[in-house]
Structure 1
Amino acid sequence: MPADLLAGLEPSPPAREGLGPGAVALRGWALALVPALLSAVDQVAEAAPFRHMVTPGGFEMSVAMTNCGAAGWVTDRHGYRYAADDPMTGRPWPAMPGVLRDLAQAAAEEAGYPGFHPDACLVNRYEPGARLTLHQDRDERDRGHPIVSVSLGLSATFQFGGLKRTDPVRRIPLAHGDVVVWGGPSRLFHHGILPLKDGAHPLLGARRLNLTLRRAL
């Protein structure tokens, strides 16, 4: 990662909050890169527009999604999976902007996972009322790699449970610029987002963006 970018990310040691074994929240970690991150998301969305995907059960997701990188996460009547091409356009997903890759690598290293090389970035766009129910990230080929999740815009409540869906669930507030990293013992922990509350963010208005970077292939 370029030294000047790393310096911009951490003018002082980040505020760390342990969320569980192998899981940490880095408070405000991404704030220095917000303009570049939003520009990158705009470029991705121009090539691969946000859309509300349909679950295998036929329900339209409340969260709008797009992807970038070598593979994109998709859901439809045929199931959950990663695909090299955008089913909406028939073209490969946009290449992952370097700022997203570099941020994910730096955050993963800070959390204790050096050598992370993400090849997929799922971009979720939340509006008031949108939510993501408890789930596990199980579609990646090698689950030995961590997950890096970047929050932008309106604050949200992150749910972080355990290996079983019935395990106790923590409710963790996430603010603009926060980054959560989990892997190792917590890699398959259930997680989700409670319905987004009304609000107005100075940069994103009544929206929240979440960038989830993974090693999919």
Structure 2
Amino acid sequence: MSGAREEVLARLRAARDAGAPRGGVPPVPRAYHRTGAHAPGSAGVLDLLVERVEDYRARVLRAGTDDEVAAAVARCLDEAGSRRFVVPADLAQGWRPRIGERELVEEHPSAPLAVPELDALDAVVTGSSVAIALTGTIVLAGGAPGQGRRALTLVPDHHVCVVRAADVVESVPEALARLDPSVPLTFISGPSATSDIELDRVEGVHGPRRLDVVLLG
């Protein structure tokens, strides 16, 4: 048996080496564009992000101050009928809406909520690490300030996400350069949706069926 195995491996090596140039295989050129045509947070980049996010059937509200963020978050929750919502314990205080008739739940890293507890909540409010204008994608880094863990943003049916203008870049390579690949990353391009073989769209299968983005700056 080992003789047959060695023969097969020898043939594979011969086939591999037959077309290889002398001196070994040349390196594959990787001249990627690592910067976009527009600076992060510029008006053109922000407008493109809004256009692409809305293409995904998500909504974008703009805010200039933390107080306006809190008001926009409250509006998103009220219009969706989301009364019980959860936030990471380290979410900025200025981004949190007044409680009023709502119930606020904080999740601490030392005491994560069980999936049934998260499923009983209407919404989650978080920050974000970076947003990609060309693809309309928002990226959350697990454990980063104000972003919590992955389950926190995947189980509740409504996600309100705050994006700072300075964190909006034009291209994917620019975004990857800002991220730590050693932590869990969640890439969000609109509400969770899928289509069956007849192209009937179903939302909320793999995550929140409603996404509201509050763009700060």
What TM-score range do you get, normalising by the shorter chain?
A: under 0.3
Say which structure is richer in strand. Answer: 1
Larger Rg: 2
TM-score of the aligned structures, taking structure 2 as reference length: 0.27
